[in-house]
Amino acid sequence: MIQRIQSLYLLGATLVSVVYLFLPIASFSVNGNSYLVKPMGIYFQEGSEWVYENPVLALGVVLLFHLLLTVAIIFQFKSRSRQIRLCNLNLILLLIIMGLQFVVSYDLPEKVTESSELVSNFEYWVLVPTISLLLVFLARKGVQKDENLIKSMDRIR
């Protein structure tokens, strides 16, 4: 039953989250040095290249767990009640991701924040987990609708 609309919502949430892995969350300038915060780590600009400096484990691990869970939900189509529970867990993970991206952006390494001239900009890509949240919510709503339909058909018999 991969063709159900909720499976398409979950596939969309997976694709949006994969793209989010590579998008910048925030950019910082400290004394002329530019830093970029992405879900998988902090990068600094050296000449014209961005160089990986520091991993962001908390956000990366939660985001990867969200991706794996979303793919697993797609293949749980035979157990709608399990799909609903996993969607609820996935919604909680997305809320955690949304909070962690701000915590990570303000928790820069000490050598970056030694200066008092910290200029920060949040990118528009911070809103991408909101799209995943909406898609997972719509998938959960579709699964709940299927569950209610099956229960009503059982009552008719």
Q: Please state the domain extents for the chain.
A: 5-151
Buried b / exposed e along 72-89 (16+ C-beta atoms within 10 A) = ebbebbeebeebbebbee
Angle at 154 between CA 153 and CA 157, to 5 degrees: 90
Task: Give dist(CA 124, CA 70) in Å, integer.
Answer: 24
Which has the higher per-residue pLDDT, 143 or 28?
Answer: 143
Contact yes or no for 105/41 (Cβ under 8 A):
no
Residue 1: predicted pLDDT: 52
- In the three-class reduction of DSSP (H, G, I as helix; E, B as strand; rest coil), residue 132 is classed as helix
> Looking at per-residue confidence, does 4 or 136 come out higher?
136
Checking if the pLDDT of 129 tops 80, the result is yes
51 and 44 Cβ atoms separated by less than 8 Å: yes
CA dihedral 21, 89, 69, 122 (to 10 degrees): 0
CA-based diameter of the chain, in Å?
73
| Arithmetic mean of pLDDT, 119-147 | 88
- pLDDT of residue 150 exceeding 60, the answer is yes
Per-residue pLDDT at 106 exceeds 80:
no
Look at residue 111 and tell me whether its pLDDT is greater than 60.
no
Give the pLDDT confidence score for residue 112 in this predicted structure: 58
Give the mean pLDDT of 40-44: 82
Query: Residue 113 pLDDT more than 60?
Result: no
Q: What is the CATH number of domain 5-151?
A: 1.20.140.150
**Chain centroid to CA 148: how far?**
29
CB 33 within 8 A of CB 44: yes
Confidence of residue 35 (pLDDT cuts 50, 70, 90): confident
Given a cut of 80, is residue 105 above it in pLDDT? no
